[in-house]
Amino acid sequence: MDRAWHYLDHAASSPLRAEALAAMLPALRDGVGNPSGAHALARRARSALDGARERLAEVVGCAPGEVVFTSGGTEADNLAVRGVLGTRPGTAVCSAIEHHAVLNPVLAAGGRVVPVDRRGLVDLDALAASLDEDVALVSVMLVNNEVGTIQSLAAIAEVVRLRAPRAVLHTDAAQALCWVDVREATAAADLVTLASHKCGGPVGTGALVVRRDVAIEAQLLGGGQERERRSGTQDVAGALGFAAAAQAAAHQRPSLVARAARWREALVDAVARGVPGSIESAVAPDQGRDHLVSGIVNLCLPAVDSEALLYVLEHEHAVLASAASSCASGAQEPSHVLVALGIDRALAAGSLRVSFGWSTSDDDVDAARFEVPVAARRLQAHARDGAPA
Amino acid sequence: MSDRVLVAMSGGVDSSVAAALLVGAGHEVVGATMKLWGGPSDSGCCSVADVDDARSVARRLDIEHHVFNFGDDFDEHVVAPYVADHAAGHTPNPCIECNRHLKFDRLLRRADALGFEWVATGHHARIVEHADGTHRVARGADRAKDQSYVVHVLTRDVMRRVRFPVGHLTKDDVRAEAARLGLTTATKPDSQDVCFITATRGRAAFLGDRITTRPGRVVDGTGATVGEVPAVELVTLGQRRGLGSPGGGHPWYVIDVDVTTATVTVGSAADLRVGAALLDGLTWVGSPERGPLTAQVSAHGDPRPCHVEGATVVFDEPSRRVAPGQSVVLYDGDLVVGGGTAAA
């Protein structure tokens, strides 16, 4: 399928940046040894890995030794939740809009879920009320993957320090590198999840930042790599690509954030005018968008089904976007995030997530803003009694 | 005119071959698997493994494959009525309701919206043109696998847009074609029973989670109590086992179930036979007919010679009473001419 797509699904996976590919190619092509070994090639691998670790640490504001490379964000989230509970028994608490990589381990451990408001912001009073001396872990995601809400980690850390002094604070920053300065979150949190492919690095690489000697129980046992925190031979090429992508993302962040804010404005205006009754999912009346990253736009369109909308956008307009998170079968499931925001189930069935990234062009956004209203109106013509086709 | 076909692919062999035949005939084919049920399932539909099978076949055929989540519609139009029918002591027809509301309504509307001319499924049934130019559902070529009973609800408007590509084949032909094409589903067993009821937990446990079942009194024809059952909502007409061992020398059958009074009436095989069945919601595909016709009262039941008087189907020979709620489909030869459900 060679055609020019308007790729607007960076929050699902962002294409590999040239910088990341360039950083990986020598390691992939020429080969490296096992970084745990002793000979020349092993030492070269270790050196490359350590370099990548240093560059990533600088981007996120931690010491290199605090970076634990993983196979991705999901593993990092599981390591955070299960790793903490393994060393300090107690209750886990997370927000209602966490990614399932946090939500499911928290629920599996019998943890508690804290509500968010209409904008996706954690209700600090509810958080305070849910905390006590027994709480071992609090996990609140820095940037939500579906609607783009940015949490105030400093304020959350303050509540946690007062109400749950034993607790470790984890934040899933998998979506954050392109849009916010993660160093501020790293300063406030004990554990930070990072993901490579959300910012233009390779898929299959991520990291958990483990701050201030927070003890975590390794979930993968073996050779004791990553300072006994994650066994398994490290993916040197992946780490190199991740670090290069993270550096590029941080460097380009101010200009991308500004461009994305203009794109979002144009898209939101076009849909508001062209599809009456549509809403921005995490925007409350008269409260602005300061709590959102500019790169993730989540809209709900009435009398439209996401699956049909995505099909028409793809097949007729070459626009690739997404809706709620996809389940294992590939079907679109009703989003727990939109439910947590209090959006009506019928309206949530017409959700559309458009997410921008380093390769997005004005042309891509123009395609979306012209075609989303056209596709939505066409599908609305097939609805019956307001129920979408 | 567009020649685009959306094929409902369950992950089974019939719909796999249906898709293959349409591709072979030169149509522009897209496969769609409907995700209908979120709970546990043995197979049949909707499990991730079944979606993988459908996707694998689509890859082999080099066609696009999509998954559509119609879970809310399935709950509303299939699962909820199934539970409600049982609660009322009626026999539900979940496969028929799924065809009526999901495959030949929601999926058809989705196909419309996406610009498809046709919807195809792997049903063993045929759609034939009638003398007057309209269409009729006809029995599939493989009588043992014929599914015209469960697709009898198609309206003539729908029939014009639906294709059953394997309806003229036997099941053996279908499997041979799948094997010839190297489809992974060639040897997959036929789906059995209701897709959302698992073999391990069963119907009783499924309903027990959703309705309050009540113990029932088992009485004979004279009204004397002869036994009891743990859940009157789970007793079906014609049932012989689990009746609390009513005494007597001959086999006992359930000849009536009254959920409101929690009473199950048993009698002999002869008591179960009736001469007619009154239908609710009798509809005709064309004009109403008197007959002679045949009536089929279950998915693979034998056709019973009959004629129709008003809303009553009169059997030529006394036949086992049709359970209330059960679909009765009327045929003229191989053609479906009408249908309704047995009245209480």
- pLDDT, one tens digit per residue, over B212-240 is 889 999 998 888 898 889 999 888 888 88
Residue B105 has what pLDDT?
96
Instruction: Give residue B180's Cα distance to chain centre.
Output: 29
Task: Provide the CATH number for the domain formed by A18-247 in this structure.
Answer: 3.40.640.10
**A-contacting residues of B 38-77, CB under 8 Å?**
46, 48, 51, 55, 66-69, 71-72
- pLDDT, one tens digit per residue, over B54-79 is 999 999 999 999 999 999 999 999 99
- Stretches where chain A sits below pLDDT 50 are 1
Q: What is the CATH number of the domain that holds B244?
A: 2.30.30.280
Same-domain pairing of B149 and B288: no
**Rounded Cα distance, B195 and A90, in Å:** 41
3-state secondary structure (DSSP) of residue B302: coil
Residue B240 has what pLDDT?
83
Residue A361 has what pLDDT?
97
Q: Answer whether residue B44 shows pLDDT above 60.
A: no
CA distances from A51 to A121, A232, A249 (A): 36, 19, 18
Partner B contacted by A389 (CB < 8 A): yes
- Domain termination residue (choose one: B222, B248, B267): B267
Q: What is the CATH number of the domain that holds B97?
A: 3.40.50.620
**Rounded Cα distance, A35 and A47, in Å:** 8
**Rounded Cα distance, A27 and A29, in Å:** 6
Partner B contacted by A4 (CB < 8 A): no
> Would the CB atoms of A389 and B112 count as touching at under 8 Å?
yes
Other CB atoms within a 10 A radius of the CB of residue A309 amount to 24
Two structure tokens written together for B281: 């919601």
Structural domain range at position B97: 4-180
Residue A219 has what pLDDT?
98
Query: Any catalytic annotation for residue A199?
Result: no
Omega of the bond leading into A254 within 30 degrees of 0 (cis): no
- Asked whether B45 and B10 are in contact (CB, 8 A), the reply is yes
Topology of domain A6-13+253-380 in CATH is: Aspartate Aminotransferase, domain 1 (3.90.1150)
Question: Pairing relation of β-strands A191-195 and A168-172?
Answer: parallel
Sign of CA dihedral A256, A257, A260, A261: negative
- pLDDT, one tens digit per residue, over B141-195 is 999 999 999 999 999 899 999 999 999 999 999 999 999 999 989 988 887 778 8
Q: What region does B105 belong to: left with phi over 0, alpha with psi -120 to 50, or beta?
A: alpha
Same-domain pairing of B237 and B153: no
Indicate the range of A152-156, B96-100, B249-253, B329-333 predicted with least confidence.
Answer: B249-253
Query: Is residue B130 domain-resident?
Result: yes
Q: Mean pLDDT score of chain B, rounded to an integer?
A: 91
Same-domain pairing of B131 and B227: no
Dihedral angle of Cα B212, B217, B218, B222, to the nearest 10 degrees: -140
Q: What's the first-to-final CA gap in chain B, in angstroms?
A: 47
Residue A324 has what pLDDT?
65
- Domain termination residue (choose one: B249, B267, B285): B267
Omega of the bond leading into B292 within 30 degrees of 0 (cis): yes
Q: Compare CB distances from B113 to A328, A330, A382 and report the shortest one's residue.
A: A382
Phi, psi of A199 (to 5 degrees): -125, 20
Higher per-residue confidence, A43 vs B45:
A43
Eight-state DSSP code of residue B100: I
Two structure tokens written together for A370: 């012209």
Q: What is the pTM of this model?
A: 0.91
Question: Pairing relation of β-strands B216-219 and B263-267?
Answer: parallel
Same-domain pairing of B255 and B285: no
Residue closest to B14 by CA, chosen among B155, B116, B120: B120
Same-domain pairing of B276 and B257: no
Same-domain pairing of B277 and B262: no
Same-domain pairing of B107 and B126: yes
Same-domain pairing of B98 and B232: no
**A-contacting residues of B 106-165, CB under 8 Å?**
106, 109-110, 112-114
Q: Which amino acid is at A261?
A: A
Instruction: Looking at the complex, report in whole angstroms how far the Cα of residue A287 sits from the nearest Cα belonging to chain B.
Output: 33
Same-domain pairing of B9 and B118: yes
Q: What is the CATH number of the domain that holds B316?
A: 2.40.30.10
Two structure tokens written together for A32: 């490296």
**Rounded Cα distance, A275 and B10, in Å:** 34
How confident is the model over B198-211, as a mean pLDDT?
88
Q: Which amino acid is at B25?
A: A
Give how many domains chain B has, as a whole number: 3
